Amino acid sequence: MLRPMLGEAWKAISANRLRTFLTMLGMVIGVGAVVLMLAIGQGAQAAIKTQIDSMGSHLFIVLAGSQNSGGVRFGGGNATTLTVDDANAIRQLPGITASAPVIPGSQQVIYEANNWNSQIAGTHPDYFVARDWQAAQGALFDESDLQSGRRVAVIGRTVAQNLFGENDPVGKTVRIRQSPFTIIGVLVSKGQSLDGRDQDDSVFVPYTTFQRTLASSRFRGAVRIMLVQAESDAVMPEAEHAITELLRDRHRIAAGAEDDFFVNNLTALANSAAEMAKTMALLLGAIASVSLLVGGIGIMNIMLVSVTERTREIGIRMAIGARQRDILLQFMLEALTLSLTGGLIGVVLGMGGAKLIQVLWHAPVIFTVSAVVVAFAVSAVTGVFFGFYPAWKASRLDPIEALRYQ
């Protein structure tokens, strides 16, 4: 019974091909927009998650305080209020797994005839623990390198490519500020950070070596940044309070006085960025869903027109024995055929559009089976929902009045 009805439904909607095409176009655009927006939104979420994961987990950044000069207050990290001893003391706190002082700078790195300006940082081996950053080649420096002040360096992938090309950098000697440094390792690539900075364009040396050979006289004994890792998200509030209280006590800050440092919870910032990406993906999907609504209204409109045009046909069907539910099912199948055909075309075009965006603009896009199934299912539900009233109206026609209709 259903197969003949499907054949009748297809025959009916094929009778006026231009009208059918224009009606399906709304569903094509709606479903295609949903698939495209979800692919872009999920791609953006995945890209942000990758960047967040590359930062490490359960992290705090402790910045030195701001400096006042001539009534002008500079940003955090400009004062000389933090020391290596502060980082060592934080490392002993309960719930803390790593604490690394970081002394940042920028220097020209020279290897034979090649040179590259990169971010140079003097730090502790705990830095690589906190960032969950391993060596792709060679090894990382350790406590013995730190204590002896060896002139060794670990470089990022970008630095390695610009100075050494395809050659192995491990064991080679570069010059930084006229001082020779031996490359002992190349880090695994991490890509861009959330602020767009290339994390692989970095050189890391023991902070003892940095303070002795690379630091300016003003920051030679000071630390501008400390990277601290807690055991888990659960202990972060207590850890943040403990870090603040420890530094206030060590810096002899009186009760009620302003801190000479800043403690930033990177995990909270990263979670906020992830939530924003999720909200944006949902917003894009909601905007695209408006097109589905317009497509559904188009289907209802054309089905109402079809009922009016085929009133006499409906009367003849009823006169020869068609029941109300047969008429209802017939028009529902026509609406469903329109929406599913438009939905199928929309899914194909949406996926094609997302791939085109990925190729032309290198934007991250992700297709999931669930998103495609949901978009296709929504098109079917839209067809049923907006097709029901015209079908119900057709099934309720009086056969005698329908036969008299001209």
User: Model confidence over 371-394: pLDDT tens digits?
Assistant: 888 888 888 888 889 999 999 998
Contact assessment for residue 342 and residue 28, using Cβ atoms and an 8 Å cutoff? yes
Residues in a beta bridge with 198: 192
Reported confidence tier of residue 154, pLDDT bands at 50, 70, 90: very high
Sign, CA torsion 229/234/235/236: positive
User: Is the pLDDT score of 76 beyond 60?
Assistant: no
Task: State how far the Cα of 270 lies from the Cα of 200, in Å rounded to an integer.
Answer: 20
Give pLDDT, residue 2: 64
Q: What is the pTM of this model?
A: 0.70
User: Is the pLDDT score of 66 beyond 50?
Assistant: yes
User: Which alpha helices (DSSP H) does 72-180 contain, by range?
Assistant: 84-91, 126-130, 143-148, 157-164
Give pLDDT, residue 72: 47
User: Is the pLDDT score of 6 beyond 80?
Assistant: no
Distance from the first to the final alpha carbon of the chain: 30
| Residue range 164-217, pLDDT digits in tens | 999 999 999 999 999 999 999 999 999 888 777 899 999 999 999 998 898 765
Q: What is the largest CA-CA distance in the chain?
A: 105
- 146's tokens: 């730190």
Q: What is the mean pLDDT of residues 64-92?
A: 73
Q: Which of 158, 150, 264, 141 is nearest to 210 (CA)?
A: 150
Residues 6+ away with beta carbon under 8 Å from 184: 138, 139, 140, 141, 152, 153, 154, 170, 171
Q: What percent of the chain has pLDDT over 70?
A: 93
Contact assessment for residue 233 and residue 267, using Cβ atoms and an 8 Å cutoff? yes
| Residue range 341-355, pLDDT digits in tens | 999 999 999 999 999
Reported confidence tier of residue 52, pLDDT bands at 50, 70, 90: confident
Whose structure tokens read 């907006």?
386
Whose structure tokens read 């909200």?
279
| Residue range 255-312, pLDDT digits in tens | 989 998 999 988 777 777 778 878 887 887 788 778 888 888 888 988 898 888 888 8
Task: State how far the Cα of 277 lies from the Cα of 320, in Å rounded to an integer.
Answer: 59
Q: Which of 168, 171, 149 is nearest to 160 (CA)?
A: 168
Structure-model confidence comparison of residues 27 and 11, the more confident one: 27
Q: What is the mean pLDDT of residues 121-127?
A: 95
Burial 301-319 (b: 16+ CB within 10 A, else e): ebbeebbeebbeebbebbe
Residues 6+ away with beta carbon under 8 Å from 89: 246, 250
Give pLDDT, residue 74: 52
